[in-house]
Amino acid sequence: MPRSFKVGVLALASLIAPLSLALPASAQEDTKPSPSSSDEGGGDAEKTDTPDKDAKADGKADGEAKDGAQAAAPSDNDPYEKPHETYRFIGMRFRNLIVPEFVLDLFSEGGRTVNVFTFGPEFSTRKDGLELDFALSYADYSMDDTLFKGKSDDDFAFEIVNSSMKIVYFTTDLLYEIPLDKEKGRFSLLIGGGVGLGVVFGDLNRNQATPREAGNIDRDDVGAWQRCEAPGTGQPGFCDGANDHYGSYSEASWVNGGSKPSVFPWISLPQVSFRYKPIKQLQLRADLGFSISGFYFGASAAYGL
């Protein structure tokens, strides 16, 4: 082979070898993702995802804000009473007034413990812990036959007394509230008193009495006595002519010169009450107190206006 041809082949080989080594690297470089392209694509993806994430975050924040607002908003049934606002209720009241015998014994001898049932409508208004209760009540002072006489009178003055009297009271109670749970306003203690006036109607019947058996003066048993039919008809010394309390005698009212009252006052002090207010529109109250007629207890239920 000529020397010049060998030299040419060697020169060509020396050129091809670097090219053959360079081509795979170039191909790898071509097939390998461009960092800038990847970065740009990733940046675009991140840019695309970011608004969605922001929108979701905003939606979640709005939902939480709405939930918080709903939780903070007071219910229409919330029993809590705001300061400086007036709350009014209308309902019914029931009370049992107990006129104990020992109270009657302070002024007379005889008598019995009497239960007086009262009921009627009640209107309440309350502001800043001060409550006024206005009530119109019907009270039944009926009483079966009972022995009665004045404290200083002798046994010959005993009478058999019964009553069909009724009283219609108009009363006002002033009560101060002591909250027992200030945050919710459901439970309260109330302390105060009341005044009022009642109109009396019905009969108070009185009849002179004589023992059924001579010498059997039982001051505690009305069954051991009987009514006098007329003066001088009973046991010796009884059924005298000191008055005309015979037969179906009914005591006249004050207006007609008798001793039966035409009006009767109501004064109660103290009164202690417990109130339960489960919702804004409803309150329940239990009462306990002392009046000039005796002890009383009762309950009321009212609807919020």
115-135 confidence digits (pLDDT tens): 999 999 999 999 999 999 999
Q: What rounded mean pLDDT belongs to the chain?
A: 84
Rounded to 5°, the CA angle 66-67-68 comes to: 90
53/34 Cα distance (integer angstroms): 28
Rounded to 5°, the CA angle 225-229-233 comes to: 80
Going by the DSSP 8-state scheme, the letter that residue 260 receives in this structure is B
163/261 Cα distance (integer angstroms): 13
pTM for the predicted model, two decimal places: 0.72
Scored b (16 or more CB within 10 A) or e, 199-210 reads ebeeebbbbbbb
Is the Cα torsion angle 38, 39, 44, 50 positive or negative in sign? positive
291 CB neighbour count, 10 Å cutoff? 20
Q: Are 122 and 101 in contact (CB under 8 A)?
A: no
CATH assignment, 86-203+251-304: 2.40.160.20
Which position has the token pair 């109660």? 268
From residue 108, alpha-carbon distances to 82, 98, 149, 166, 238 in Å are 52, 17, 6, 21, 19
299/96 Cα distance (integer angstroms): 9
Query: From first to last of its 305 residues, what are the pLDDT tens digits of the chain?
Result: 444 444 444 444 444 444 444 444 444 444 444 444 444 444 454 545 555 555 555 555 555 555 554 555 567 889 999 999 999 999 999 999 999 988 888 888 888 899 999 999 999 999 999 999 999 999 999 999 999 999 889 999 999 999 999 999 999 999 999 999 988 999 999 999 999 999 999 999 999 999 999 888 999 899 999 999 999 999 999 999 999 999 889 999 999 999 999 999 999 999 999 999 999 999 999 999 999 989 999 999 999 99
